[in-house]
C-alpha cells in the first residue's frame, strides 16, 4: 500500500518527493524519526540512507513501508520503479481516488479503465448510457471526469517540456494513452 501511516522506527522506501531539487531520489530507504502535523498534512521526519533528513509530506510525496518479503512477492517495487515518472508528472492521489470511484460505479472492467482517465465527461456519459450505469457514484465520477482529462493533458505537457519534446497536439495524443496505462498500472498495485 502506498503512503501507509508511519510510526517512529519504521523503515520506508521513497517513491517520489514533490520537489525535483531534493536529495532523496526514488528507491532511497530511510528510518522514521518522528511525526507531526503541518497545515493539515502529516509530516514524517526521516533519516535517509544517503544522509538527507528531508521529511515526507502526506499530500505530495509517495512512499511504502520497507517489507522486502512482501515486495519481492507482489512485484510492486518493480512496477513503481518502471513507472516512477508518473509520480513526477501526475497527481496520483487524485487519480487513485478517481479510479476507486470508477470501480465503485461498475461502468467498466478496471483492466480496461485507462481511456476513462482522459475521455472527459461528455464521452463518459455516452459510455455510461451504453452500459446502463446510473447511480450516485457514477454521477461523482462524471463530475470528476473533466478534471481527470485536464490532469492527464497537463501531466503529458509537463513530461514533453521536461524531456525537450515538442508540445503539439499529435504528441499529446500519442503520449496520453501511454501515461494513462502507467497511471492505471500503478493504481492496480496501490489497491
Strand pairing partners for 11?
31
Domain that holds residue 66: 11-82
**Same domain (yes/no): 68, 139:** no
> Tens of pLDDT along 92-146?
888 888 998 998 888 778 888 899 999 999 988 888 777 666 678 888 989 999 9
The model carries a pTM of 0.64
What would the grid cell of residue 12 be?
520506508
Rounded to a whole number of angstroms, the CA Rg of the chain reads 18
Distance between CA atoms of residues 191 and 158, nearest Å: 26
Q: Are residues 53 and 100 in the same domain?
A: no
Dist. CA 111–CA 19, nearest whole Å: 31
Residue 174 domain flag: yes
- CA separation for the pair 96, 185 (Å, rounded): 11
Distance in angstroms (rounded) separating the CA atoms of residues 57 and 190 = 18
Grid cell digits, residue 164: 525537450
96 falls within a domain: yes
Structure confidence by residue, pLDDT tens digits, 123-133: 888 887 776 66
Amino acid at each position: 500500500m502506498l503512503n501507509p501511516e508511519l510510526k517512529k522506527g519504521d523503515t520506508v522506501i521513497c517513491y517520489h518527493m514533490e520537489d525535483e531539487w531534493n536529495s532523496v531520489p526514488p528507491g532511497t530507504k530511510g528510518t522514521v524519526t518522528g511525526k507531526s502535523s503541518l497545515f493539515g498534512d502529516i509530516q514524517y521526519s526521516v533519516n535517509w540512507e544517503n544522509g538527507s533528513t528531508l521529511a515526507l509530506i502526506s499530500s505530495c510525496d509517495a512512499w511504502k513501508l520497507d517489507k522486502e518479503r512482501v515486495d519481492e512477492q507482489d512485484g510492486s517495487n518493480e512496477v513503481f520503479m518502471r513507472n516512477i515518472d508518473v509520480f513526477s508528472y501526475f497527481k496520483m492521489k487524485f487519480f487513485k481516488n478517481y479510479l476507486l470511484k470508477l470501480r465503485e460505479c461498475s461502468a467498466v472492467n478496471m483492466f480496461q479503465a485507462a481511456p476513462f482517465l482522459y475521455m472527459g465527461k461528455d464521452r463518459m456519459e455516452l459510455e455510461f448510457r451504453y452500459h446502463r450505469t446510473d447511480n450516485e457514484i457514477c454521477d461523482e465520477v462524471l463530475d470528476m471526469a473533466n478534471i481527470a482529462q485536464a490532469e492527464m493533458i497537463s501531466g503529458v505537457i509537463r513530461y514533453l517540456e521536461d524531456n525537450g519534446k515538442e508540445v503539439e497536439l499529435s504528441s499529446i495524443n500519442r503520449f496520453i494513452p501511454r501515461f494513462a496505462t502507467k497511471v492505471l498500472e500503478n493504481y492496480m498495485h496501490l489497491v
